[in-house]
Amino acid sequence: MELQKRQDQGLPQRKGQKRKLEEEIKDEQPGISPSPVDCSDARRAILAEVAVQVNILDSAFSWQEADRAAAKRATHVLADLAKNDEVVNVIVEGGAVPALVKHLQAPPSTEVDGNLRPFEHEVEKGSAFALGLLAVKPEHQQLIVDHGALPHLVDLLKRHTEGTTRAVTSVVRRSADAITNLAHENSNIKTRVRREGGIPPLVELLEFADTKVQRAAAGALRTLAFKNDENKNQVIPIVQIVECSALPTLILMLRSEDAAIHYEAVGVIGNLVHSSPNIKKEVLAAGALQPVIGLLSSCCSESQREAALLLGQFAATDSDCKVHIVQRGAVGPLIEMLQSSDVQLREMSAFALGRVAQDPHNQAGIAHNGGLVPLLKLLDSKNGSLQHNAAFALYGLADNEDNVSDFIRVGGIQKLQDGEFIVQVLKHLLYLMRVAEKAVQRRVALALAHLCAPDDQRVIFIDNGGLELLLGLLGSANMKQQLDGAIALYKLANKAMTLSPVDAAPPSPTPQVAFDIYLVVVVIGAIFMVYLGEKYVNNATLSDVTFLVEGRRFYAHRICLLASSDAFRAMFDGGYRLIRQFKMMPFYFPDQVTYFYLKQEKDARDIEIPNIRWEVFELMMRFIYTGSVNVALDVAQDLLRAADQYLLEALKRLCEYTIAQDISLDNVASMYELSESFHAISLRHTCILFILEHFDKLSAKPRHSYLIQRIIPDIRNYFGKALTKPDPHNLRL
């Protein structure tokens, strides 16, 4: 990752250097406006112009003022032409390189010349500038060096000892720029620069009075210090930069108010650090850490980017440095940079945070300072490197148990589900939920209950035991844990089904249709549900059975009753009278129902119905005959009892729905008992969810703890079924 970052910076750095050279020469010397070589005539014209200037340079190598003036103009013309990339090859083809290299040195002195030195340094400056522009194209670098440019450029660097005049400043700066372009990504030339003695004067120039010279020298050192695959084993130039005591000056430059200065300085230090772990230690020992952190708040985005990259390099292999970076205030600025509009700035800050986040001491601090949300947003980036750095940082933060709840609270799991990182992060959370301390396990389960996706619920809460953790909280003696567990379970239930607790009445089993009796159909012994219609309710017409309810006769039709439930079929088909007996006990369970039969003739017409009020029996029969009935609250419980006794499940559902509308804080316990007595599953589930939803208010009620302990097995059964169904979104209470 680090190597890739350094390589990627090569081209922008080269283009920036060329642009800088062009802008500066424009200020100093207006010249020929570059034009593209778009035809053979233009090419011939440029070749002719180059030949003229080369001829001037070849013939004007003396201290005579006319020659010096002509040579100066010729170097400027060639430099202006070289600003156009399409013309560079033509210039080289025209033989300009040896002519320009020749003028990097001063002409020999004669007795006639005396002490006169017209345009001293000016011609050399023009030649260095033109050669620097030609060296922007890598294919020309070696040609320029082979013609002997490097020794002369190094000699020009040493002219800084002659003073700080404008001419000296310019020639030194142009020479440093030329070396920068010649050595760019060329390990052989970097070695040649060292052999020619170029590094010591460049280090000395870091302290030159002119800031442009400082910047140019730092730019050259930055290029020489860059190590890539080609020169990864050639660290001698890099070591020499450190041995020449460049570090103290470079670190001072980091504090410069000139953005161009601290940008180049941090670039040099970054390349030095990248080259060797030992040099990294020397850089830190020299006091670079704090000023680098200071650059995170610079107004120069390029310096911010370099500083973030450098901090990531500091932190990559040094655990102590990871901690120091956080302690000295880097986290806040790095998090701000995550939200920058500059893609490279976001990437470098994510890179730095990712390396810092690998230390357990830093993980909670990064999350506490708001690093989670911007890192999650970076996962949406189409930039693969940016996305990778963000995910690496998030993985580090998720490794800390103190961050788990916050990580999921801000949507970390959902965010990662759309990317390639969900498996890694979710597996880690599930691992924590299985093997960590109980407190950590419960925190993970709580967080996942609130924010995991519905598709993950079975894996988390059934397969990995998350449900038992939540039930453990609910059954805890600690009221805060009970409340946390109840809230999480209620959230989980809402995800498991589309309907909120009994929010719609169950539909009638079939449309209400009146049939004549002779239309009842029997197919292979199975009687289909038949509704005779309202007009036959308690109608003596064609009645073949009479019920005695509270001493009153109720006329009915066996064929309709046979089709309604197993209870009536047992009553008539087997020739028995069915009586249901409830045991005298506080609660009723289905397996404790006793059915016993008193044999009587199949054609008995009067059947006594005990323990059911006339009003309730009439409503039950009306439902059997029509398929629907309006269940009023005042009779709902009695009708539920009758429906349960005669195994009328659809009527039970209607009664449960009506009763559920009346659930309150005061009666939920008794409603739950009612649901148990008559095996009213829907009502029981509604009571459970009501208790979970209003847990904080119910906790003040008497016998609250007893009620909670009592419902835990039903909660377990409820979620066990809800979370293992193929499509939990189709569940209803």
Q: Identify the band that residue 703 occupies on the pLDDT scale cut at 50, 70 and 90.
A: confident
Report the alpha-carbon distance of residue 376 to residue 391 in Å, rounded: 8
Positive or negative, the CA dihedral 349, 355, 358, 362 is negative
Pair of tokens at residue 316:
């990559």
Distances (CA, A) of 350 to 323, 391, 502, 546, 616: 17, 9, 48, 83, 71
Q: Is pLDDT larger for residue 621 or for residue 109?
A: 621
pLDDT digits (tens, 9 = 90+) for 318-369: 678 888 999 999 999 999 999 999 999 999 999 999 888 888 888 888 888 8
3-class DSSP assignment, residue 571 = helix
pLDDT digits (tens, 9 = 90+) for 568-585: 887 776 544 444 443 333
Distances (CA, A) of 495 to 426, 448, 499: 18, 12, 10
Is residue 592's pLDDT more than 70?
A: no
Is residue 304's pLDDT more than 60?
A: yes
Q: What are the phi and psi torsion angles at 617 (to 5°)?
A: -60, -40
The pLDDT value given to residue 137: 93
The pLDDT value given to residue 501: 42
pLDDT digits (tens, 9 = 90+) for 54-99: 999 999 999 999 999 999 999 999 999 999 988 999 999 999 999 9
pLDDT digits (tens, 9 = 90+) for 401-425: 666 656 666 665 555 544 444 555 5
166-175, 306-315, 406-415, 464-473 — which is least confidently predicted? 406-415
Q: What mean pLDDT do residues 518-527 have?
A: 36
Identity at 691, one-letter amino acid code: I
* DSSP class per residue in 576-633: EEEEEE--SSSS--GGG-EEEEEE--TT--EEEE-S--HHHHHHHHHHHHHS-----H
Distances (CA, A) of 516 to 46, 504, 536, 540, 560: 109, 32, 10, 14, 11
* E strand or H helix that includes residue 547: strand 545-549
30-34, 87-91, 280-284, 422-426 — which is least confidently predicted? 30-34
Task: Classify burial at 703, counting beta carbons within 10 Å of its beta carbon; exposed 0-12, middle 13-18, buried 19 or more.
Answer: exposed
The pLDDT value given to residue 692: 92
Q: Is pLDDT larger for residue 271 or for residue 238?
A: 271
What's the chain's Rg over C-alpha atoms? 45
If we measure between CA atoms, which residue out of 236, 296, 306 comes closest to residue 271? 306
* E strand or H helix that includes residue 549: strand 545-549
Q: Is pLDDT larger for residue 317 or for residue 232?
A: 317
pTM score, whole prediction: 0.58
Contact call for residues 157 and 198 (beta carbons, < 8 A): yes
The pLDDT value given to residue 526: 39
The pLDDT value given to residue 442: 82
Is residue 236's pLDDT more than 50?
A: yes
The pLDDT value given to residue 511: 39
Residue linked to tokens 């670079």: 288
Q: Which of 189-203, 432-446, 509-523 has the highest mean pLDDT?
A: 189-203
* E strand or H helix that includes residue 86: helix 85-93
Q: Calculate the average pLDDT of the chain.
A: 80
